[in-house]
Amino acid sequence: MNNYQKHLKQIQELKGRPTLLLHVCCGVCSVYPLIYLNKYFDITIFFYNSNIYPYDEYLKRLNALKEYLNILNNPDIKLIVAPYDYEKYDAELKEFKDEKEGGKRCYKCYKLRMEETFKYGEKHHYDYCATIMSISNRKNALYINEIGEELQKKYPHIKYLYADFKKADGIIINERMNKELNLYHQNYCGCKYSIR
Ligand code: SF4
């Protein structure tokens, strides 16, 4: 099995501070990955999450992220909020609506969000592209990194940062920090099929 944490550790050898377009799905998942990555990269967050239903829930997660950025008070970390379009996104997921969480629907959902990040990142000349989604126990890090590898071939001018943020106690640190911060914490993954 691939050791994505080993890949991630290689960033400690990077020279300078490359630019990183970082897909972030919500406030609570971003807490530890942002602190960790900020040591090595010039970060721009890409909030593209049209999977989240309903819109009120989308806003709660976006606002939790903004609240955390306010706490960090680091003007070097920038935020781009991509347009929200649940209807269009759902049209892509619908064929897999009866799949269990973690299956084909989620594979597609990771890919849609990661590909949008790659497209933007390549167009705007970022050095690296990544997603924090692997911090969550609900997300399949193998799928995420396979998709990253595939997209790196399709968008050759931007590098993919392999990662499994939950490893090396990442998930424990993230949970501990979240207890102190008390940010809004969702109780389902995002799409309407994950509410049931
Ligand atoms: S359960 Fe989560 S990852 Fe899976 S399709 Fe729904 S929103 Fe996307």
- Amino acid at residue number 88: K
Which pair of structure tokens corresponds to residue 62?
């976006």
Name the phi and psi angles at 5, rounded to 5. -65, -35
Q: Which domain holds residue 34?
A: 4-194
Query: Going by CA atoms, what residue is nearest to atom 6 of ligand 1?
Result: 191
For the CA atoms of the chain, what is the radius of gyration?
16
CATH number at residue 54: 3.40.50.620
How many structural domains are present in the chain? 1
Query: Rounded to the nearest whole angstrom, what is the distance from the C-alpha of residue 43 to the centroid of ligand 1?
Result: 25
d(CA 41, CA 55): 31
State residue 2's pLDDT score: 63
pTM (two decimals): 0.96
User: Would you give per-residue pLDDT tens digits along the chain (196 residues)?
Assistant: 467 877 788 888 888 999 999 999 999 999 999 999 999 999 999 999 999 999 999 999 999 999 999 999 999 999 999 999 999 999 999 999 999 999 999 999 999 999 999 999 999 999 999 999 999 998 999 999 999 999 999 999 999 999 999 999 999 999 999 999 999 999 999 999 999 7
Q: Going by C-beta distance under 8 Å and a sequence separation of 6 or more, which residues neighbour residue 156?
A: none
Q: Going by C-beta distance under 8 Å and a sequence separation of 6 or more, which residues neighbour residue 125?
A: 19, 157
State residue 1's pLDDT score: 41
State residue 6's pLDDT score: 76
Query: Rounded to the nearest whole angstrom, what is the distance from the C-alpha of residue 152 to the centroid of ligand 1?
Result: 22
